[in-house]
Chain A
């Protein structure tokens, strides 16, 4: 008889932490075998322009795989679109299209010790992966790739892959001039990330730079598994913006915003406060991680205004960064509650980019301004399918526990 794994565990694990004790996630396994993969290559040679798209795996750390991805036969903007979270969300691409785009790229795998990012640099592979435009390249594979697709909750899906015999870069990679400069600076990665962000680079570009080991003090450069790099960049930028916002005035009203994309609905509540943040995920039953569950499963992360986190969660980091970015631009401080409802129609984990981009999109909208929490609850009720009493029990910010200020007591 198969063992029943509680959905609460799956929601925390998301196929990654192996909390159930099995060597591979049975949900991902079953799901991977159901996805059709478009493989447009025959033989062992792949030509095309990398969008750019590259991923550093974590398996086997400190000897890791680098996946260099090429959409066979495609160039220019077509190629670009295979790795373009901002483009995907602006066109509201459905989940099926994203899976199609990812699965039609072929990955050439290289293996390298993490403390040697230089050899990738010499072969121009890291440069190509950091290019602002697609880079014409060719990979000769050791064997024909198997048509599979790998999923993980943080990184984008990876299509058919095979070890590379050789990767050739034909074009000249075009780098952002700030990256070109900072690569040779002997500064800590944290500082480099802040500098790049403030000079207007988008986070995906920074994530790639972090991952491919071109940031940090020169002698301590590492390849960083993409999964870790994504969350690290989100957390570093969040910490920076939070420190800045802390000195600013609190917002005046309670602001509520709503939005959705690929089976994920969000209600974002900003309220006057010193910067506490709360993330509540509601996984509806019979969804990706809640196959066996008949009730919604709730997962919550809390971060106080001093930055103490109750758990590390890549989804929260992405959303947090997007909300803080908007507060940072407004120069206001607020307590933030983000409710994310995941419907069964979100059938494939395609990475946390969609969380970051959807939340960013939502923050651009005009809010509904309300006076008190009961009105907030009315709005939540309208958009999200959850028993409010269950949610209020879980959520500290929704319970209406308000942090007062010392100045409130000056008579």
Chain B
């Protein structure tokens, strides 16, 4: 059995990421190797794919001798990570069938949570190949506010971009209410590239689940095309990246 260990500066980033992941998939396998740490998993209904990557440079300590994997139940993992406090560093140590989640804070010392690994067969999933026609980048706070506005009203999020490429529009419709949110380029919208003025629709719930992960991210990139999956990229300090692919909703 291999063993390895790595240390990450801000435990709360992990807490937020995993609390989003937990709501979408039940379990998954992390891979650690020469490049860094990665996770790719599909939810059981095959609507969402999660793709996480942290380069090895973003860790303060990286003791990984050879490629290895560890499987976790995200519900259990999240339960532990929720204990992360401000100023906590996170150390993950894998030994045999155990996984130690260690929070360390200089003045408080270490808290060691031990959880069992779950054995899962690991197969590398292919990344969805989509030709995106619209690409946008927004601040994570904007992303969270927009989702909160939309989820108050409807169940489906419709996203569109006009040809002029000066703004991105997101809307939701409920039984009687509707909401339309314009994100003009230059203020809440950092970047926008429109190859074709496309429109697509997605279930809002998955976006609601992403809000937690966005809390720790700096920016959120959205890439989509008409009637194709959307790619939601969260970029974290240190070069980490958490990507959600969400399959669209189509009207008959």
Residues of chain A at the chain B interface (Cβ within 8 Å) = 246-247, 274-275, 300, 302, 304-306, 308, 333, 372-373, 393-394, 396, 399-411
Contact = CB atoms under 8 A, between A and B. Distances in A.
Contact of B247 (A302, A306, A404): A404
By Cβ-Cβ distance, the 7 closest A-B pairs, closest first, are A274-B45, A400-B252, A405-B46, A246-B44, A404-B247, A304-B205, A247-B44
B228 A409 contact: yes
A394 B45 contact: no
Given A300-B175, A308-B205, A403 B252 contact: no
Interface stretch (B1-9, B124-132, B187-195): B124-132
Contact of A403 (B49, B128, B245, B249): B249
Contact of A404 (B24, B130, B208, B248): B248
Interface in B91-144: 126, 128-130
B250 A407 contact: no
A401 B201 contact: yes
A304 B202 CA distance: 13
Interface in B141-164: 155-156
A406 B128 contact: yes
A406 B46 contact: yes
Contacts of B45: 246, 274-275, 305, 333, 403, 405
B249 A304 contact: no
B73 interface: no
B152 to A, nearest CB: 12
B156 A401 contact: yes
B58 interface: no
Nearest to A372: B252
A406 B49 contact: yes
A306 B23 contact: yes
Contacts, number: 74
Interface in B48-82: 48-49
Given A246-B45, A274-B45, A304-B155, A402 B129 contact: no
Interface in B213-252: 228-229, 245, 247-252
B251 A400 contact: yes
B196 interface: no
A409 B230 CA distance: 12
A400 B208 CA distance: 23
A54 to B, nearest CB: 36
Contacts of A246: 44-45
Given A246-B45, A304-B203, A405 B155 contact: no
B128 A402 contact: no
A169 B194 CA distance: 78
A405 B250 contact: no
Given A274-B47, A409-B128, A409-B229, A402 B251 contact: yes
B179 interface: no
Contacts of B126: 410
Nearest to B209: A306
A403 B247 contact: yes
24 contacts: A275-B45, A304-B155, A305-B45, A305-B47, A308-B208, A372-B252, A373-B252, A399-B251, A400-B251, A401-B251, A402-B249, A402-B250, A404-B47, A404-B248, A405-B46, A406-B48, A406-B247, A407-B46, A408-B247, A409-B129, A409-B130, A409-B228, A409-B229, A411-B129
